[in-house]
Amino acid sequence: MAENPTRRHILYTTGIATTAGVTGNVTARTQENGADDEFNSVDVMFVRMMIPHHEGAIQMAELIPDRTDRSELLDLQTALIEEQEAEVDRMCELLADVDAAGCGEVGSMMPHEMGELMPADDGMGPGMHDDEIHPDEMMPREHMMTHDDRRALRRSENDEFDCLFVDHMIHHHEGAVAMSEYILEEGESERVTDLATEIIDAQEAEIEMMDEWSEEWDC
């Protein structure tokens, strides 16, 4: 699939912790620009983290045709890519509306890279302020793929790939659900809340479906 530079990249300059450096003054900026000032910094962090999270799911789905001929996964690939790309486009529009960086930036970091760069302790990373949420609170690290996970998935095929794929995608979707549930509690934007609710509904349904596949395939 050809990469669309207008939405395929999200900026994390010094690891994921620097998100707060961009989001901290978003309310003041949006009020000055006459944009939707209901967004708070947590709303913007959610969107900026969810974009590469969705792109990670797209990258995983793009592996399917060359590694399996299982019809369930081939059908899932088409639906998942269309769903995730449409939501990425919506999220890029949200960031543009509040004049927040996030799309069309060079130097992106995908979810597996975010997990490896998160600080090992519970302290604030570089660029974080005491009044800002740490990304670990929004995205539990156990839901993030590592380079080794991605390498194993790329090198597998047939039944091994099928089981690895559903296992990783279930955990990946669970991460999106966790992020979305968090923003329902901490966010202010109705538009972001609506998006989060849709993400929860769609990805919980896919998790249930892939759990059934995993049992059927004796994974």
**What range does the domain containing 23 cover?**
16-216
Residue 2 covered by a domain: no
Contacts of 140 (CB under 8 A, 6+ apart): 175, 178
Percent of the chain with pLDDT over 90: 53
Contacts of 83 (CB under 8 A, 6+ apart): 202
Residue 30 covered by a domain: yes
- Kindly state the average pLDDT of the residues 17-24: 36
Q: Which two tokens stand for residue 152?
A: 């194993």
Q: What is the pLDDT of residue 103?
A: 78
pLDDT of 48 strictly over 80: yes
Residue 9 covered by a domain: no
In CATH, what number is assigned to the domain containing residue 164?
A: 1.20.1260.10
The structural domain count of the chain equals: 1
Question: Which residue in the block uniquely carries the two structure tokens 């299982």?
Answer: 70
Residue 170 covered by a domain: yes
Residue 33 covered by a domain: yes
Residue 8 covered by a domain: no
DSSP secondary structure of 21-90: HHHTTHHHHHHHHTS-TT--HHHHHHHHHHHHHHHHHHHHHTTGGGT---HHHHHHHHHHHHHHHHHHHH
Considering the entire predicted model, what is its pTM?
0.73
Residue 186 covered by a domain: yes
Measured between alpha carbons, how far is 27 from 24 in angstroms, rounded to an integer? Answer: 8
* pLDDT tens digit sequence for 79-92: 999 999 999 999 99
Residue 93 covered by a domain: yes
* pLDDT tens digit sequence for 115-160: 333 333 333 233 333 345 566 667 666 667 888 999 999 999 999 9
